[in-house]
Structure 1
């Protein structure tokens, strides 16, 4: 016997319709590329998104066709999130931190019909436009007064606000198949060409439900959410959708992501929750620490994209009373996979024991299953000690990359997606990544976790950034090499840094040498590009 319940498709536009109807007066604040602060409400967002849906129809964009965006976090980008997906087309967010060759490849591979861009990205657009065939229309996301001069785009450049003025807001969101594509995001492409991950309306809505839950990102109508994590990569971890679902106030930072700008926005708008990668938070903490400031309203921060050092967690929580929520995910997971939310019995642990838990990437949210396997493919125990390849499956995990041909091999292994991470899982189900499979260090036949080495190094008060890589060694095959970016004014030496590891890791895990560097290369999503550092320093011990 079948259940007697209504059937309504899970569609992205339903999030906006809900926000307009039930949270229409809630505010959305954006620091604009033009330099000022823009304010409006969910009802304004909904009205302008409908106008933009009419714009897209007028530009000849058909259902299923891709529409590119090259934009910071802001209200116009939010309007496109819903206008494009809601009307049946596919929102293709483009990462401006990628190399121009990769951008051109992605736009051409996706066959974008139109590309919308913030004015600051005009040089990128002018570099990309001659290299691609697909988009014939480029729309600057600004008004007529701030339109950029672009002689190379004559006949192709249009103005966002001018287009909106030409259309009304009478538009009925179509009743789409919930399994139809809603958005497209390419991996950051640290090696080889980026791969496209094509999300559906259904997968996006299920991800939004799960990510908003109390033991996930814990969002509500009482929150003021500042997504520092970019809307141009993995949909800002789903926060724009979550905010519509729960009715939270949204604060968009635009292009100003330095510590001073973020702090001023957090305080002015009484932000309660923010999300970003560790490199961004290091800049914020440095700014606040130098000026001996405090946070009046912010009580939680979500940190992901790279492992969060325990030292950063301790600084947020002990000095500023801001709880840290460590999370893990991937483009292929939409992106949320695990969140490090405490279980009841862990609340009574000592401070040091709680930090040990918080250093882990956390437990699966409902909708994601995971396991670790050994070289033979057999599942390993969840004992907190065994480490193996991390595999996942779930309602919002990709099963095939966009544009893959019939002859292309599926990335799945017996229905599971291989993440490329090496991890261990404890009896409580908390997963901890010990390395990327290509970053693990094998010294004398034994494995060393570069992540553990980095976490210890970051505990030193004079260390700003620590990166551990495998360098070839004449006796041990590989040995860990530690690269350190010191905090300003530090006189830290190599001997002192290595001595800091005494009693904190096994002696044979301690790196053989320290190299002090001015900076480390960062990828398009803020992750350290270890492949570049390995190429540069892999023979360090051989040439010593």
Structure 2
């Protein structure tokens, strides 16, 4: 008999057991493994405060004890109404530890939207900071009985260690409200599972590539798509995090980067356009910054080239939206390529384009569709695909190139035209402080270039130069009309609210006011 044929031997078998993914475990991990790494916040008044992850975890525990003593339980809601800070982080992780859902309200949203959000949420507590204290009192009256609490008045916990309760990983972790660039803000709900998976994806080498030696500063607030996941991915890898207020001054951004020895900067294209102009004018360079993750509208190729080759900062060009948590695709700038696109999807994201007739394909041009482990879509949608509203091309190997929003897209001689690139060329014309291309009729291709004039310029001569430059750059294409405006309405994420500019132009037409090169609003 073969000595190996016996059936009496029982080999022990081990199988991985599932543990639920919970966001608060990220801070627990950081406090244990990266205890000396820090979180720093800068207030609107410029006051700087720093805590280690170990200290932050203790304060979050005290806040959790207080929330629990107030009767808040899993799936209850609190509203966090303020700007990114250590205090906001402490209350966020306190709520996460017991399954309480944090709603990040944007103080820069319209008052009527904020009021409706509060009435819909009906929170168990309304947290505010010094900047939002008076507004919070006014809004709290809309939901009688809602306790108000200053974030800076952190819980003491009475020395007790709060024990987290058990809840499912598909419990909501937090809620963000989109910036409302195209109109009414959207409500986007994230789960513990989706948030942890998104943080893991952000940390990947071919994504943000973060590690414990990094010092990360997002110029986006926590209420703007969770500051691109920075409050979660930084503790995951042990990177230090620096939270700053929403200033619009590139000189201030540069000062923060240098003072806090930032190595990775999160910014939208509008941030970098202003920062590059400031640094060129001032002849400055960075001492520690080595990488930037850029989102928002498409970053012009020549600007990306200057950032990477002249400033020595690696450019990672990303695409995403509030509904994608937000990271979906990313690309590292390569100056040998003909253009800058938006990269390929990270693992966990799948893309398609919906062409004419409603068919979806893995390549082609049409409306961009997305699905994945951290992609939110309407609960009324029977499909698990998110219709993004972006007009895009999917190239070979799922390489993404977002052209524009669907309502802002133009096809010129069979080729999609990017309004972001038109606006960039317009800003290069002397006398133009800012520019926005508004597509007022997609079918006919009618468009208006709204632009902000620098002080004491002859707008008529600048318009002539705009005609000349744009026609030359875009193969004889140029906007149908031009209009000078005093200023642009921006969202908190530094995006122009084009729908408001379009409304203004529509009112001009209703009043039979001619749009001439010297018109202003």
TM-score normalized by the length of structure 2: 0.88
* Aligned ranges 1:351-370 → 2 under 5 Å: 353=337, 356=339, 358=340, 360-370=341-351
* Pair 1:212 & 2:203 matched: yes
* Pair 1:391 & 2:348 matched: no
**Partners of 1:182 and 1:201 within 8 A in 2:** yes
- Structure 1 CA distance for aligned equivalents of residues 246 and 181 of structure 2: 23
Select the residue among 489, 497, 501 that pairs with 2:466: 497
- Structure 2 CA distance for aligned equivalents of residues 183 and 46 of structure 1: 18
User: Does the residue aligned with 1:423 lie in a helix, a strand or coil?
Assistant: strand
Partner of 1:146: none
**Partners of 2:63 and 2:157 within 8 A in 1:** no
The 1:472/1:419 distance shift into structure 2, 3 A limit, reads closer
Partner of 1:405: none
The 1:299/1:478 distance shift into structure 2, 3 A limit, reads same
Q: State the structure with more CA Rg.
A: 2
**Partners of 1:88 and 1:176 within 8 A in 2:** yes
- Structure 1 CA distance for aligned equivalents of residues 176 and 365 of structure 2: 30
Partner of 1:528: 496
Greater mean alpha carbon deviation, residues 185-194 or residues 322-331: 185-194
Which consecutive residues of structure 1, in runs of 5 or more, have no partner in the other structure? 143-159, 402-408
Partner of 2:10: none
1:30 is displaced (CA, Å) by 1.6
Greater mean alpha carbon deviation, residues 42-51 or residues 258-267: 258-267
The 1:284/1:514 distance shift into structure 2, 3 A limit, reads same
- Structure 2 CA distance for aligned equivalents of residues 109 and 16 of structure 1: 30
* Aligned ranges 1:99-118 → 2 under 5 Å: 99-118=110-129
- Structure 2 CA distance for aligned equivalents of residues 488 and 192 of structure 1: 31
Which consecutive residues of structure 2, in runs of 5 or more, have no partner in the other structure? 1-12, 516-521
1:213 is displaced (CA, Å) by 0.7
Select the residue among 25, 29, 41 that pairs with 1:30: 41
The 1:451/1:291 distance shift into structure 2, 3 A limit, reads closer
Deviations 1:139-188 (A, max 9, x none): 1123xxxxxxxxxxxxxxxxx23xx2353351223333111111111223
Select the residue among 320, 323, 334 that pairs with 1:329: 320
1:191 is displaced (CA, Å) by 5.8
Matched pairs, number: 498
Greater mean alpha carbon deviation, residues 173-182 or residues 214-223: 173-182
The 1:500/1:11 distance shift into structure 2, 3 A limit, reads same
* Pair 1:170 & 2:137 matched: no
Greater mean alpha carbon deviation, residues 258-267 or residues 516-525: 516-525
- Structure 2 CA distance for aligned equivalents of residues 7 and 381 of structure 1: 33
- Structure 2 CA distance for aligned equivalents of residues 460 and 427 of structure 1: 35
The 1:478/1:99 distance shift into structure 2, 3 A limit, reads same
**Partners of 1:311 and 1:459 within 8 A in 2:** no
RMSD: 2.7
* Pair 1:513 & 2:481 matched: yes
1:79 is displaced (CA, Å) by 1.1
Select the residue among 120, 141, 150 that pairs with 1:140: 150
Deviations 1:191-239 (A, max 9, x none): 6653322211111111111111111111111111011111112211101
1:94 is displaced (CA, Å) by 0.7
* Aligned ranges 1:472-487 → 2 under 5 Å: 477-486=444-453
- Structure 2 CA distance for aligned equivalents of residues 195 and 295 of structure 1: 37
TM-score normalized by the length of structure 1: 0.84
- Structure 1 CA distance for aligned equivalents of residues 412 and 236 of structure 2: 49
Deviations 1:17-55 (A, max 9, x none): 110110001122221345421122110011101001001
1:441 is displaced (CA, Å) by 3.8
* Pair 1:379 & 2:360 matched: yes
